[in-house]
Amino acid sequence: MTRRITWALVAAGTVLVVAGIVVAISVVPSVAAGGLLYPARRHVMEPPPTGCEDAVFGGEGVTLKGWRCQANGPRRGTIVFLHGVADNRTSVRGAIARFTSRGLDLVAYDSRAQGESTGTICTYGYWEKRDLHDVLDAVGPGPIVLVGASLGAAVALQEAPDDPRVMGVVAAESFSDLRTVARERAPRLLTQAMIRRAFSIAEARGDFRADEVSPVAAARRIRIPVLLIHGALDADTPPDHSRRILAALAGPKELILVDGAHHNESLRAEDTWQRIESWVEDVLARQPASREFR
């Protein structure tokens, strides 16, 4: 092989490498933005549980499908359950009777772009907290406790400081802020520049600001009781996320670390739910006895 041919091959190889880098820089961030914005949709394939009925709520430009579950006996308040990403309202099915048997209504709905609700983009709380506010408008007066898992926990925390109807929040496996958790979960092939570009693309597509998606920032303004729950072995959203939120909270607060639990496992333990029930009872007991609710 002559020297001229060798250099030609080297030059061609260099061009291909450069072209590959250019494609990666331009294409990979767009793909990453899509992975952030468009969660897998898990459809609801089962009827409402006993004591519940299908319900439709209006959100911010979306229609939210859910369930309303009626309290047994005199109504003492409402639990609003918010599910995690790529999930739906059915994840609360096993816990409904825990609350309705205590005189609490329960509302659960599919977040925008998930389950049977409309919408195509998940913004991790930026628009979802506005949806939650609209749902609470339909719930009516009375003490309201938000119970959220993962994404739902983050949404609950972001709405809590701006909604006086919320009397307490149970937040399981919340992330502390969107940029941090997205960077932690990003594939190693993504450079910091690619990640920044992916966020810019996502913000433009979703009409939101990533820096404003921050449960830890919201926590600094929360004065109501908050119960944080996190799996001790959670590698997807490490427990330090809840620890940061705990440190920022301005009101009564508690963190439960569930031994042996990974992500989406902290609410599977029976003793965890027993502690949630006891905590909710304490929150309700703080409400003035003279206050009337519908």
pLDDT in tens, 119-172: 999 999 999 999 999 999 999 778 999 999 999 999 999 999 999 999 999 999
- Asked if the model's pLDDT at residue 7 lies above 60, the reply is no
* Of the candidates 1, 42, 59, 36, the residue with the CA atom closest to the CA atom of residue 199: 36
User: How many beta carbons lie within 10 A of that of residue 237, not counting itself?
Assistant: 25
Per-residue confidence (pLDDT) for residue 265, from 0 to 100: 96
Per-residue confidence (pLDDT) for residue 10, from 0 to 100: 38
Mean per-residue pLDDT, 27-48: 93
Per-residue confidence (pLDDT) for residue 140, from 0 to 100: 75
Chain-centroid distance of CA 270 in Å reads: 22
* Of the candidates 231, 264, 193, the residue with the CA atom closest to the CA atom of residue 24: 193
Per-residue confidence (pLDDT) for residue 19, from 0 to 100: 32
- Asked if the model's pLDDT at residue 234 lies above 90, the reply is yes
- Asked if the model's pLDDT at residue 114 lies above 90, the reply is yes
Distance of CA 81 to CAs 109, 156, 172, 173, Å? Answer: 7, 9, 11, 14
Per-residue confidence (pLDDT) for residue 290, from 0 to 100: 43
* Of the candidates 251, 227, 255, the residue with the CA atom closest to the CA atom of residue 240: 255
User: How many beta carbons lie within 10 A of that of residue 258, not counting itself?
Assistant: 23
How far apart (Å, rounded) are the C-alpha atoms in residues 180 and 201? 17
- Asked if the model's pLDDT at residue 5 lies above 60, the reply is no
Q: What is the pLDDT of residues 262-276, one digit of tens each?
A: 999 999 999 999 999
Per-residue confidence (pLDDT) for residue 288, from 0 to 100: 66
Please give the single-letter amino acid code of residue 271. Answer: D
Cβ(160)–Cβ(218) below 8 Å: yes
Segments of 59-215 assigned E as strands: 63-69, 77-82, 104-109, 144-149, 166-172
Number of Cα atoms under 13 Å in the Cβ half of residue 49: 17
How far apart (Å, rounded) are the C-alpha atoms in residues 192 and 186? 10
Share of the chain above pLDDT 90, in %: 84
Segments of 83-160 assigned E as strands: 104-109, 144-149
- Asked if the model's pLDDT at residue 108 lies above 90, the reply is yes
The interaxial angle of helices 128-139 and 151-159, nearest 10 deg, is 70
- Asked if the model's pLDDT at residue 18 lies above 80, the reply is no
Domains of the chain and CATH, by start? 1-37+180-211 (no CATH), 42-177+213-285 (3.40.50.1820)
Per-residue confidence (pLDDT) for residue 4, from 0 to 100: 52
- Asked if the model's pLDDT at residue 6 lies above 70, the reply is no
- Asked if the model's pLDDT at residue 84 lies above 70, the reply is yes
Per-residue confidence (pLDDT) for residue 16, from 0 to 100: 33
Chain-centroid distance of CA 239 in Å reads: 15
